[in-house]
Amino acid sequence: MAEETKDTKSSNQMWGGRFASGPAAIMEEINASIGFDKKLYAQDIRGSIAHATMLAHQGIISGEDKDKIVDGLNTILSEIEAGQFEFSRKLEDIHMNIEARLATLIGPAAGRLHTARSRNDQVALDFRLWVKEELQKTETLLTNLIDAFLDRAQEHAETVMPGFTHLQTAQPVTFGHHCMAYVEMFGRDRQRVRHAIEHLDESPIGSAALAGTGYNIDRHMTAKALGFREPTRNSIDTVSDRDFALEFLSIAAICATHLSRLAEEIVIWSTAQFGFIRLSDAFSTGSSIMPQKKNPDAAELVRAKTGRINGSLIALLTIMKGLPLAYSKDMQEDKEQVFDAAESLELSLAAMTGMIRDLEVRADKMRAAAGSGYSTATDLADWLVREAGLPFRDAHHVTGRAVALAEEKACDLADLSLEDLQAIHPAITADIYNVLTVEASVASRKSYGGTAPDEVRKQIKWWRSRN
């Protein structure tokens, strides 16, 4: 009972003299964020060390107090990383937990640390630092995934497969070209990540509660010490801004959508009906009842995590949508969304990179499917335009009649006799057979960004030069 009274007294001191008694149990439950914001401990300590160093440099606190503060904070960092730090819900958040422990370690000097700052700019700093570091991790993970695709594209620049629209066979492409489509998609994600890092690269500390401070602080010094390009320029916006978190979640949602599309293709391609790929045992599971099954669970879970990430984005947009300037307690609800999305995205990117590196490509199955569905019909139409001088719409009509005849005869276009084709249009010659194979079709697509193997290799080379 005595211990409980001591904790309550400590909590009251943190709240200040305005409150005659501690918060009720319900208030404590709704108000506390230490359960999740303890993840920010390293950023909080790093920011506090930079702040204390600046205060001493400016003569606002003594060098002796600064040294005590820095030593105490480093001790706390070691305690947390060793699992020896006791986090208290009564102290609400990571800031107060660290400050209370610092007071125990070094005494009155700890009270000087909060000079010229507020929890409002402190949490903005901690969260920015965390998101910046997470974006840097995401950039690395995306680079790893892009590298995996570039390796597979190089390996399969000539491996023919069907290209699809509406999930119907459209035209032959190469698997290398298909891989490079994902390089483009994840390359855009990485570029968005880099832009987001640039956007948030401003230090909030020194904005205080919302109006700045009357102390002679040096915000450029703390910005530099913390690795930011410069300090923010408006103290009201600084403490109320969560654009950096929203931008991270937006990027994560777009990237997760790309991952989900890829996961869907992996699920489809690994079915017995397609058989284009085999997943390694490392990224598959079996069935509890059907011994023949090999389930693409990793891909399915990547696909599912898109829903969690999208949900986090919508949640934070909704939290922020009606908040007046500057800070409101609603913003305490921002971190769990970002933490959860970051964990899901990290895991999804790592899992997908592993799947792409490990999967076995079944080139024979891809080649057999590439010629199905009259995939070279467009090549016939293009030949009629190019060699026989037909307007494309007329060539389209002639080709449609050829497809209908092939369907009637249950054969491929290349298996129709010259007499059959000339009966449809007399301008057709034996040269038509040079474009009716899937290999010839693929080789002919030499336009910039096309599926011709040489063009695919050019794009691989370009990406490797910038990756």
Catalytic positions are 166, 287
Per DSSP, the three-state class of 161 is strand
Adjacent-strand bridge partners of 285: 295
Tokens of 197: 């890092």
Using an 8 Å Cβ cutoff, are 204 and 238 in contact?
A: yes
Residue carrying structure tokens 């090549």: 379
The b-or-e profile of 113-124 (16+ CB within 10 A means b, else e) is beebbbbbbbbb
CA distance 352 to 302: 8
DSSP type of residue 323:
P
CA distances from 425 to 150, 394, 397, 408, 431 (A): 44, 11, 10, 18, 14
Using an 8 Å Cβ cutoff, are 175 and 277 in contact?
A: no
Return the HEC string of 235-302.
HHHHHHCCHHHHHHHHHHHHHHHHHHHHHHHHHHHCCCCCCCEECCHHHCECCCCCCCCCECHHHHHH
Cβ neighbourhood burial of 249 (10 Å; 0-12, 13-18, 19+): buried
Comparing CA positions, the residue from 141, 168, 291, 80 lying closest to residue 133 is 141
Cβ neighbourhood burial of 91 (10 Å; 0-12, 13-18, 19+): buried
Per DSSP, the three-state class of 359 is coil
- Residue 64 makes CB contacts below 8 A (sequence gap 6+) with 109
CA torsion through residues 64, 68, 73, 78, sign: positive
The b-or-e profile of 196-219 (16+ CB within 10 A means b, else e) is bbeebebbbbbbbbbebbeeebbb
